[in-house]
A and B are shown apart, each in its own frame.
Chain A
Amino acid sequence: MTAAALIMAGADSRQPAPAVETPPVSSLYVHVPFCARKCDYCAFYSERANAKTIERYLDALGRELEMFAPRLKPQTIFFGGGTPSLLGAAHWERILTRFDQFGWTRAAEWTIESNPATVTLDKARLWRERGVNRVSLGIQSLSVELLEYLGRVHSRAQAFHAFDLLREAGFANINVDLMFAIPGQTMAMWRETLAEATAFGSEHLSSYEVIYEEDTPLYERLKAGQFAVNDDLACEMYDALLEAAARAGYRQYEISNFARHTSGDATEYPSLACRHNVNYWRGGAFYGAGPGATTYVDGVREANLANTVKYCDSLETGRRALEYREQLSPLARAGELAAFGLRMNSGWPYARFRELTGYEMRVEWAEEIKILEAKGYGVSEPDRFRLTLPGLRFADWAAELFLRVE
């Protein structure tokens, strides 16, 4: 019996089951918490791979997915990490078989995040054969010294090699991840990485500024004064990114995301945009499985314990491994949705926003919209409000304006 069924059986039987139809959840995120070594900037939960822990994790993951299965009809699947590609072919065989049993292998978009050092042709072929159709390759940089500085396990050569392997295995939708404003990175280094990375000809490009998260070695180096943050340079690098992406034929659809547009209407986003991520910004429901993963279903956000052993312990006794649960008031939820949705170039269509939240954006946030427009950061179009290109650079400020603190 599945956990969901158990819950139903345990419910008060005198109450008739609610007639409201619960729509299926069409997005699934799976967190794979293992890394060969942790990068110096990374604050995500991960640990060194250990055969026994991996076995326990796979079992626990299976149990958790079972709990989600009754409401889950994934159209998008995203394996993130950690380093999902670190799992061996046998592990993947297990996972993919399980997904097949659930009937989830026909997802329209199924992404696996990979590190160039751990991609093999065998694994890539296995993924492709069993329904995975997109790979996100964490290249980050093509400068030898920066890869070392960031504590990445892969080499420059491996980045090129991994990309070729993926193409050889038949992947026609690949994302390349790049980082900029890395301490020590010069404008010349960044331009070179951009030129080489866009020459890969990937379908998608994600690029973001280094974030200094507390409890990371990079943050400690910053605190210790080993380097200073150069905002002006970071800004110029962002300009260079926009320019290089456009020149290489990508369309920006979110602050740090670019994709090719090959077919159909591109009002909302380019055809090869990552649908899984678009679902996040548009406030769609998703399940998150694995340590530290977040679930957002029926307006409730839940986060799993970010500790593999505790995660396993809990699931082994049939309980979900929750760290916290939060449910915002309708207005706070709408504010959050507005704030994060504005990160997309297409902004918020009023009708869509009203449908999702019950709020009329132009009424509830009239003042904020006016402030942003006055600065040239926002523009009200007949059907939508969106941030302008200069405005997208101040999306955090716009988000702050839209949030409703309670």
Chain B
Amino acid sequence: METTHIRNFCIIAHIDHGKTTLSDRLLARTGTIAARDMQEQLLDSMDLERERGITIKAHPVTMMYQAKNGETYELNLIDTPGHVDFTYEVSRSLSACEGAILIIDAAQGVEAQTVANFHLAMKKGLEIIPVINKIDLPHANIPQAKAQLEEIFAITGDSAILASAKEGIGIEEILEAVISRVPAPKPTGAPSLQALGFDSYFDTFKGVVTHVRVFNGELRAGMHVRLLHSDRTVEIKEVGSFNPKPYTRPALTVGETGFFTANIKSALDVKMGDTLTDSKNPSPVLPGFQEIHPMVFSGIYPINTADYEHLKTNLAKLQLNDSAFVFQAETSVALGFGFRCGFLGLLHLEIVQERLRREYDMDIIATYPSVIYHITLTDGTMKEIDNPAFLPEVTYIERIEEPMVKAFIICPNENIGDMMALISEKRGSILQTETLDARRVMLTSRTPLNEILIDFHDRIKSITRGYGSMDYEHDGYAVSDMVKLDMLVNSDPVDAFSCIVHRDKAESRGRALAAKLKEVIPHQQYAVAIQAAIGGKIVARETVSAFRKDVTAKCYGGDITRKRKLLEKQKEGKKRMKAFGTVNIPQEAFIEVLKA
């Protein structure tokens, strides 16, 4: 296809504002898929994605559309992950486009995620087509949505297309706008092939299938192609596009989007965002590449120690499809053998855990998540620490820096007070307060990533009774007074509960953990001391009193078998207990606390 007749675009929207419904409509309207074959929400192919109403993996779809001017255009819809954890994935997908459809829900207005994604699209210089969706709803407020476009994004309200993806209103106008407003791709002028690999998935038969956008030259089967960042050369086996099922094409030319396969065995072998070029006549790299760095770490352990190898195999399987997920073996005194896993963010962590549980049927437990701290030592060297176990002695530490985020929080006016209290509780500072409309404000804050990991989003939802929304972008590092909190059982540290926390929060966290541990550690025949310690200083203490009996119940002839079985079970259970000095603690107790 001539580049003048190709358009590459994506859709950015807040969860539930109708991105998937609109995508499905576009597929149906262009005849890419017959309406009767449409599953609801076609592009979200993982169950988990469907359940959470978010798209995790991006699938580019090629549509052929005959425009009102009579010409046929190749429209490539590049779907983007809808969550900030996947910022880099979003930004890679955006790099493959020249334009973006920005969806705003006519009833709900602009939400936090819309803002974060809009910023990304602007950074990439994309042409924005605003679409006000769900205009059929009785409480749709079109003037207000237009006003927000102008105030928040500086986009003239009149440029917005009014649509209802559900009712099929405005679909044609959107397609026409893509053709008239989104610029056609232009060759870069480099001497040979330049293509961007922006995502991949693993196929049992073909190996890694890489999503690719050609910026210069053309990509065809049989070519020897150099992956510049991954530093390897591969032979292209197959190229094609998705409609939305994959189909083979003779070549992908300038401006076209699709996939290639090249007998690549693991997602780890191709860095996402890599530039492909001709191996004999190489062109320079495309701009915008970043190495993927996990931001959040957590230990994942099999509940049943015998499942260790099984877990390892399944983690490796997940990684085939998810190069952002990293893991390596680690051991814990409390939990045994497991893996230190790195994730893009908390949602990514939850998704990996859920997939292990559901798709791979694994019983696992995860330790308290940690971010990466920058530790400057007294000798001036800098260390990155994501596991409290490896935090150097206090005397060697000059300073600790923690990762920060810029968080956008949108909430009803009446919740501003509570929201500011929450932000301050989370050690954040408010950078800006903007009025969105008569009902809502947007707070922009700078907050430590560590603080938003656990319950920040849930708290926002509960304060605002579901009306608030939050999104964030990474915002560098800041010096912070962080300390290591250790939990001791009869003076022996229990590694699974050690964490790096801000000094102001260490004591209350220590107290909460000690109280929780007291609940789950079974009475022993002697008293057990549970302590929370910062450095050598004890900040909280609980005691599990010794129990003075384990039996006073009756037991006659008819009770013996049942009683014996119960005692046998207990005996077996004790074999799985971990001994801390003289204290035996069942693994289940640790799991209870980690679950809480």
**Smallest CB–CB gap between A175 and chain B, Å?**
12
Q: Which residue of B lies closest to A377 (CB)?
A: B525
Find out whether the CB atom of A238 lies under 8 angstroms from the CB atom of B564.
Answer: no
Chain B positions 522 through 538: 1 when the CB is less than 8 Å from some CB of chain A, otherwise 0 = 01010000000000000
Q: In the complex, are the beta carbons of A231 and B523 less than 8 A apart?
A: yes
Known contacts A29-B558, A293-B558, A336 near B564 by CB under 8 Å: yes
A99 within 8 A of B: no
Among A88-96, A189-197, A262-270, A395-403, the one that faces the other chain is A395-403
Interface residues of A in 314-334 (CB under 8 A from B): 326
Q: Within 8 Å of chain B (Cβ to Cβ): is A292?
A: yes
Q: Taking the complex as formed, is B553 at the interface, i.e. its CB lies under 8 A from any CB of chain A?
A: yes
Once A294-B557, A336-B560 are accepted as A-B contacts, the answer to whether A403 and B571 lie under 8 Å apart by CB is yes
Task: Report chain A residues within 8 Å CB of B545.
Answer: 232
Tell me the complex Cα distance, A255–B557, Å: 15
Q: Number of A residues whose C-beta is below 8 Å from B?
A: 42
Contacts of A339 in B (CB 8 A): 564, 567
Q: How does the 8 Å CB contact mask read for B548-566 relative to A, with 1 for contact and 0 for none?
A: 1111111111101101100
B204 interfacial contact with A, CB 8 Å: no
* Pairwise interchain contact B548-A393, C-beta atoms closer than 8 A: yes
B568 close to A (CB within 8 Å)? yes
Name the segment of A16-24, A147-155, A204-212, A359-367 touching the other chain: A204-212
B570 at the interface (CB under 8 A from A): yes
Interface check B396, CB cutoff 8 A:
no
A400 touching B567 by the CB < 8 A rule? yes
Query: In the complex, A279→B564 CA distance in Å?
Result: 17
Interface residues of A: mostly helix, strand, loop or mixed? mixed
Interface readout for A175-209 with B: 1 if CB under 8 Å, 0 if not? 00000110000000000000000000000001011
Q: Which residues on the A side are within 8 Å of B568 (C-beta)?
A: 400, 403, 405
Q: Report yes or no: B555 in contact with A340, Cβ–Cβ below 8 A.
A: yes
A260 to B567, CA, bound (A): 31
CB pair A296–B557 under 8 Å, yes or no, is yes
Q: How many Å from the CB of B582 to the closest CB on chain A?
A: 12
Pairwise interchain contact A394-B553, C-beta atoms closer than 8 A: no
Minimum CB–CB distance from B203 to chain A (whole Å) comes to 48
A301-B561 in contact (CB<8A): yes
The answer to whether A280 touches B560 (Cβ under 8 A) is yes
A170 and B546 alpha carbons, distance in the complex (Å): 47
The CA-CA distance from A401 to B545 in the complex, in Å, is 23
Residue on A nearest B575 in the bound complex, by CB: A405
B547: interface (CB < 8 Å): yes
Q: Tell me whether B37 is interfacial, beta carbon within 8 Å.
A: no
Expressed in whole angstroms, the Cα–Cα distance for A375 and B570 within the complex equals 20
How far, in angstroms, from A288 to B548 measured CA to CA in the complex? 35
Q: Are B550 and A396 in contact (CB under 8 A)?
A: yes
In the complex the two chains form, is A209's CB within 8 Å of B552's CB? Answer: yes
Q: Least Cβ distance of A50 to chain B in Å? A: 23
Q: Does A251 contact B (CB under 8 A)?
A: no
Contact of A400 among B556, B558, B570 (CB under 8 A): B570
Decide if B556 touches A256 in the complex (CB within 8 Å). Answer: no
Q: Which residues of B contact A234 (CB under 8 A)?
A: 549, 552
Which residue of A has the minimal Cβ distance to B554?
A208
Among A232, A256, A326, A405, the residue within 8 A (CB) of B552 is: A256
How distant is B404 from chain A, measured CB to nearest CB, in Å? Answer: 41
A259 to B553, CA, bound (A): 17
User: Does A288 contact B525, Cβ atoms closer than 8 Å?
Assistant: no
A232 to B160, CA, bound (A): 71
Are B551 and A394 in contact (CB-based, < 8 A)? yes
* A343 CB within 8 Å of chain B: yes
Q: Report whether B549 and A238 are in contact in the complex, using a CB–CB cutoff of 8 Å.
A: yes
Residue of A nearest to B547 (CB): A231
Q: Does A394 lie within 8 Å of B557, measured CB to CB? A: no
In the complex, per-residue mask of B50-73: 1 if CB is within 8 Å of any chain A CB, else 0: 000000000000000000000000
Q: What is the distance, in angstroms, from B112's C-beta to the closest C-beta of chain A?
A: 38
A218 at the binding interface (Cβ < 8 Å):
no
- The CA-CA distance from A211 to B563 in the complex, in Å, is 12
Chain B: minimal CB distance from A342 (Å): 11
Question: Within the assembled complex, what's the spacing in Å between the Cα atoms of A405 and B563?
Answer: 13
A303 pairs with B560, CB closer than 8 A:
no
CA separation between A396 and B553, bound complex, in Å?
10
Shortest distance between the CB of A339 and any CB in chain B (Å): 7
State whether the Cβ of B572 lies closer than 8 Å to any Cβ in chain A: yes
With a CB–CB cut-off of 8 A, which chain A residues contact B551?
A: 255, 393-396
**What string of 1s and 0s marks CB contacts (under 8 Å) between A235-253 and chain B?**
1001000000000000000
Q: Does A97 contact B (CB under 8 A)?
A: no
Contact B561 A294 (CB under 8 A): yes
Cα(A303)–Cα(B565), bound, Å: 15
Q: How far is the CB of A228 from chain B (nearest CB, A)?
A: 11
**Known contacts A394-B549, A397-B550; is A294 also within 8 Å of B567 by CB?**
no
C-alpha spacing A211/B562, complex, angstroms: 14
Residues of B within 8 A of A255 (CB): 551-555
Chain A residues closer than 8 Å to B523, beta-carbon distance: 231
In angstroms, Cα B280 to Cα A339, docked, is: 81
User: Quick one: CB contact mask for A144-184 with B, threshold 8 Å, 1 for yes?
Assistant: 00000000000000000000000000000000000011000
Alpha-carbon separation in the docked complex, A326 to B556 (Å)? 17
User: Are B567 and A403 touching (Cβ within 8 A)?
Assistant: yes
- Contacting residues, chain A, for B525 (C-beta < 8 A): 375, 394, 397
Q: When the two chains form their complex, are residues B556 and A277 in contact, meaning their CB atoms are under 8 A apart?
A: yes
A348 contacts B by Cβ under 8 Å: no
What's the least CB distance linking B506 to chain A, in Å? 30
**Nearest A residue to B567, CB-CB:** A400
Q: Complex: how many Å from CA A396 to CA B551?
A: 6
Contact A393 to B550, CB < 8 A, known contacts A232-B545, A286-B557, A294-B558: yes
Bound CA–CA A31/B547 (angstroms): 36
Q: How far is the CB of B461 from chain A (nearest CB, A)?
A: 26
- Interface residues in A367-406 by Cβ distance below 8 A to B read 375, 393-397, 399-401, 403, 405
Residue contact A209 to B564, C-beta cutoff 8 Å: no
- Cβ–Cβ contact A280 & B567, under 8 A: no
Q: How far is the CA of A326 from the CA of B549 in the complex (A)?
A: 30
The residue from A238, A288, A294, A343 contacting B555, defined by CB atoms under 8 A apart = A343
Mark A270-304 against chain B: 1 for CB-CB distance below 8 A, else 0: 00000001011000001010001110100001010
Q: A293-B558, A336-B560, A399-B563 are in contact. List 6 more A-B contacts (CB 8 A).
A: A235-B547, A235-B548, A256-B554, A396-B567, A399-B564, A401-B571
> Can you list 14 A-B contacts with CB-CB less than 8 angstroms, sorted by A residue number?
A208-B552, A208-B554, A211-B553, A231-B548, A235-B548, A235-B549, A255-B552, A255-B553, A279-B557, A336-B560, A393-B552, A394-B551, A396-B570, A405-B568
Q: Tell me the B residues contacting A by CB distance below 8 Å.
A: 523, 525, 545, 547-558, 560-561, 563-564, 567-568, 570-572, 574
Q: Which 3 A-B pairs have the closest CB atoms?
A: A393-B549, A280-B557, A396-B551
